Chains A and B, each alone.
Chain A
Amino acid sequence: MTNFSLAATRRWKLACRYGLASLLLVFFVFPIYWLFIISFKTPDEIFHFPPVWYPKSFQFANYAVLFKDGDAVSVLNSLILAGVSTVIAMIFGTMCAYSLVRFKTGGEDFAVWVISQRLMPPIAIIFPIFLLYVYLGWVDSYGGLIILYTAFNLPYVIWMMRGYIEDIPLELEESALVDGCSRWAVLWKVVFPMARTGLFATAVFTFVFAWNEFIFALVLTRTEVVTYTVQVTHYFGGQSNFWAKIAAMSALGTVPVFITVSLLQRFLVRGISMGAVKG
């Protein structure tokens, strides 16, 4: 009898947990569903009262318009800026992290300074940078934004790679040195390959940060290198008929992030907690 009631309570508890979990799922996923569904709706469905909860048919006209008008180039711009800056930040950042780990260069003060740069408000940095870029003629150029994105992501790369390099056994590097490798050769041939998992995971998050960045792009782009995040806000002015464009452009920028992050579930916690949680 007691066994039976115990099983019943357990089942009841599990049902409650599923109920709560489903409610949470609706709260967190419905807005994303709504964004994507709008991108497939016809104007009549978007501006229908009461709202249409699911489109009667999937049509891609909203996306076609973005490609026809050339607005979709902004996604390519995001790809170039985030991609190039990530590669540079990974190379420089890993080198710097190696020096921090193995030689304790700069000691704790340098490490604190590096990570504190990550936490500075971008708005305070962007204003002087903007004046500098105007002077140099770098506004609305790929190079200018790539340098800025690289610099802004460096603290994160250094921080994360520091953790991953600490996990590499010292003996491998020592034996390579004994074999007559130069320091540079050790770095390229031992450290980089050994840290490849960490390099890959860190690169993906660095890429996503740059991909999703808004304020630097808002200030430093005009027409040539507009990123998808800035492009989305360009549609805000129009009161009504730009809804489809907002949704379609947002979806274009969001899908790649969803795909990469879901492939990297394993690294997600370490990536977003700046290494505070390992494993």
Chain B
Amino acid sequence: MTSASPFVLSVIARPPSGRMPDHNFRYWIIAPSVFLLLLIGLFPLIYSLVVSFQQITMTDYDTSFAGLTNYAQLFDDARLWQSIAHTLIITIIALPVELVFGLAMAHLFLERMPGRQIFISLIVLPTVISPVVAGATWRLLFDQRYGPINQVIGWFAGHEVVMLWNITPHLVYPAILICEIWQWTPFMFLILLAALSNVDKSLTEAAELDGAGFWRIFFKIVLPAIWPVMAIAILIRGVDLFRIFDVIWALTSGGPGTMTETISIYTYVQGFQQFESSYTAAIAFLIVGLMSVIVIWAIRRMGLAK
């Protein structure tokens, strides 16, 4: 795979021609991309590190070396750890629900049925909407008086209900999760549907003839076959859920109080509302460091880069 192909060797043999030199061509063509990627990939890391060792706050612009003060503060900051907990709660609930729900839907639409393509095209629409618009939409749906959701619940309850979805503490998480699951289950569904359609039919049919039950076939044949694709879908969604911001911003803005503040919301508040520059830099460095380790480990493990 990594050995030089004849194609590469032919370059070396050829004398350079034309206005632009052919030697170092392979580096010339990656240069613009590398430059831009360093802007978002390396600069923020270094700059965060530098600022995090200073003491820049809203009132004070102190660039002298402050040591590990900001990092020490991280450990005492209850609100930070709560926001990480909130993020993990949302991830741990939403990810399996989207996965199982998406898989079940993929099963439902796996076999041919008239109008199947129309159903699929319409069901995937939520996934391509901007998350912030999705949040805004559900905000309108959840309205306690003029929204249709309380109205429908009222029909089943037999009387008018007043549920304040984005204010009441025990309703805010269900509201966020419903919106999140609504938007991203179709994503799982679409990918898993494609993966399921690629499973070798002769294998499942042979197992069926041998008398294997549905679940046995699923765990022994289907799951191993779709796993590589499923793992990537889980990785993409897991990372997206960890950085969840837009939907919550639109639905609750982190409230009531700080109840639904996720790590992204909290960082935003520290940096852009409280102007705690140095402390925010320390948080940013913590997040990038943490995510780099997890993400690179996952990519390598899945052999994504081949």
- Which of A115, A132, A236 is within 8 Å of B299, CB to CB? A115
Cα A85 to Cα B140 with chains together (Å): 32
CB proximity to A under 8 Å, residues B269-304? 271-272, 277, 280-281, 283-285, 287-288, 291-292, 295-296, 299-300, 304
* Known contacts A49-B146, A274-B236, A17 near B108 by CB under 8 Å: yes
Contact A31 B37 (CB under 8 A): no
Q: Is the interface of B mostly helix, strand, loop or mixed?
A: helix
- Which of B43, B250, B280, B291 is within 8 Å of A119, CB to CB? B291
Cα A183 to Cα B249 with chains together (Å): 48
Contact B122 A151 (CB under 8 A): no
One of B17-25, B74-82, B202-210 at the interface: B17-25
Chain B interface residue bracket vs A: 35 or more
Cα A31 to Cα B251 with chains together (Å): 14
CB proximity to B under 8 Å, residues A98-128? 98-100, 102-108, 111-117, 119-125, 127-128
Query: Max chain B CB contacts within 10 Å: which of A30, A174, A236?
Result: A236
For residue B45, which residue of chain A has the nearest CB?
Answer: A128
* Known contacts A28-B126, A51-B148, A95-B29, A243 near B140 by CB under 8 Å: yes
Contact B229 A154 (CB under 8 A): no
- Which of A107, A150, A170, A279 is within 8 Å of B36, CB to CB? A150
CB distance from A184 to the nearest CB of B (A): 5
B128 in contact (CB, < 8 A): yes
Chain A interface residue bracket vs B: 35 or more
CB proximity to A under 8 Å, residues B12-43? 14, 16-20, 22, 25-27, 29-30, 32-34, 36-37, 39-41, 43
B55 in contact (CB, < 8 A): no
B177 in contact (CB, < 8 A): no
- Which of B22, B43, B268 is within 8 Å of A128, CB to CB? B43
A21 in contact (CB, < 8 A): yes
CB proximity to B under 8 Å, residues A230-253? 232-233, 236, 243, 246-247, 250, 253
CB distance from A255 to the nearest CB of B (A): 11
Closest 8 CB pairs of A and B: A182-B18, A212-B130, A121-B243, A96-B33, A103-B26, A95-B29, A128-B44, A111-B305
Contact B232 A128 (CB under 8 A): no
